[in-house]
Structure 1
Amino acid sequence: MNIITENITIKNEVLTLTNQRAIYWEAQEALILSDVHIGKTAHFRRHGIPMPDGILQKDLERLKQLISHFKPKQLLIVGDLFHAETNSDMITFKSWLAQFEHLRLILIKGNHDRQSQRLMDDFNIEVLTTIELGPFILIHEHDENDLYSFTISGHTHPGVLIKGKGKQKLKLPCYQVNSKQLILPAFSLFTGLNTRSEPEASTSYAFTETSIFKF
């Protein structure tokens, strides 16, 4: 796995975008990501739709390598860490999480995070609705009525559509940034891409396994 980075400066803070669907904020020693959707594959299997077990493992391996690379002290997940009801994927995640006992894990609750507080306590996950950190508000879904804050959010699974010659088209995940917000791509590879909406006057930072480039 290649970790490609690009630094951007917002509100005098340097944020490191990566091509692995997460941001590192060195000043806060924080790795920030969104929409992991743990439990989604097990949820589909429970409802009779065959899904390979390796999807979650690949997401967790990418996250492990990001943690190893940046060595953050805290992991901030801006919503939808989990996807559905408690299922076998939760056991896999709990076992994986045990190797990072000194890592503070904070979940900004998303619309899919419906697990009990008892489970969150068992996983040693701090659960909040928003966090004000430095000049930013971390929240799952940006509030269009908030005219004053700069938010870091997820939820929309942003992507870009690149059109080539003829009927050739390519969809890529991206970060979307404007003067009021930064929207993270979905961390899980098992998510769709929303290429139809973007904030007004925004710049998109799309990425592949080998590069990051902006539109």
Structure 2
Amino acid sequence: MKIITENITINNEVLTLTNHRAIYWQRENALILSDIHIGKTAHFRRNGIPVPDDILQKDLERLQKLILHFKAKTLLIVGDLFHAETNVDMTTFKKWLSQFEDLKLVLIKGNHDRQSKKLMTDLQIEVEKELNLEPFTLVHEHLKCHSEVFTISGHTHPGVLIKGKGKQKLKLPCYQISADQIILPAFSLFTGLNTASQPKDSVCYAFTDESIVKF
């Protein structure tokens, strides 16, 4: 897995965009990511939809490599760590977590995070409605009430549509960045891309396995 990075500075803080759907925040020694949707594949299979069972493993392998690459001590997850009811994927996640003795997990609760407090306690996850870490406020979804702060959020699964010659089209995940917010791409590869919604006056940093490109 090739890790490509691009540093940006916002409010005097250096944030490192990666081509693997997560940001590294140097000051906090933390990875910021969103929309992992653990449990989604098991939920689909339980309902008779034949989804490959290695999707979660691939997502967790990418996350492991990012943690090791940056030597991160904290995961700041801005919502939808989980997807559905408690299922076998939570056991897979717990086993994966056991390799990191000192890793701190903070979850800013998203609309899909409806699991029990018992599960969160068992996984040693700190749960917040929103998290203020100056100069940023971490939320799952940026709303009008956040207009006075700079938010880092997820929820919308942003992407860009690139049109080529003729009918050629290419969709890529991206970070959307404007004067008052960053919207993260969904971390899980098992998500769609929303290319129809983009904040006013924002720029997009789209990425592939080999590059990060600003639009």
Give the equivalent residue in structure 2 for 1:197. 197
Give the equivalent residue in structure 2 for 1:5. 5
Corresponding position: 1:143 with 2:140 = no
Q: What is the correspondence of 1:65-104 to structure 2 with a 5 Å cutoff?
A: 65-104=65-104
Give the equivalent residue in structure 1 for 2:214. 214
Structure 1 residues 141-193: Cα deviation after superposition (integer angstroms, max 9, x where no partner)? 00123221000000000000000000000000000000010000000000000
Paired with 2:108 and 2:50, the residues of 1 have a C-alpha distance of 30
2:83 aligned counterpart, secondary structure: coil
Letter in 1 for 2:184: L
Give the equivalent residue in structure 1 for 2:32. 32
2:195 aligned counterpart, secondary structure: coil
Q: How many residues align?
A: 215
1:27 aligned counterpart, secondary structure: coil
For structure 2, list consecutive stretches of 5 or more residues without a partner in the other structure: none
Paired with 2:130 and 2:157, the residues of 1 have a C-alpha distance of 19
Structure 1 residues 20-66: Cα deviation after superposition (integer angstroms, max 9, x where no partner)? 00000011111100000000000000000011111000000000000
1:120 aligned counterpart, secondary structure: helix
Paired with 1:146 and 1:111, the residues of 2 have a C-alpha distance of 17
Letter in 2 for 1:95: K
Paired with 2:2 and 2:47, the residues of 1 have a C-alpha distance of 35
Paired with 2:158 and 2:211, the residues of 1 have a C-alpha distance of 17
TM-score scaled by structure 2? 0.99
Deviation at 1:134, TM superposition (A): 1.8
Paired with 2:165 and 2:25, the residues of 1 have a C-alpha distance of 38
Give the equivalent residue in structure 1 for 2:131. 131
Structure 1 residues 63-120: Cα deviation after superposition (integer angstroms, max 9, x where no partner)? 0000000011111000000000000111100000011120110000000000000000
For structure 1, list consecutive stretches of 5 or more residues without a partner in the other structure: none
Give the equivalent residue in structure 2 for 1:22. 22
Paired with 1:127 and 1:61, the residues of 2 have a C-alpha distance of 24
Paired with 2:154 and 2:170, the residues of 1 have a C-alpha distance of 22
Q: What is the correspondence of 1:35-184 to structure 2 with a 5 Å cutoff?
A: 35-184=35-184
Letter in 1 for 2:9: T
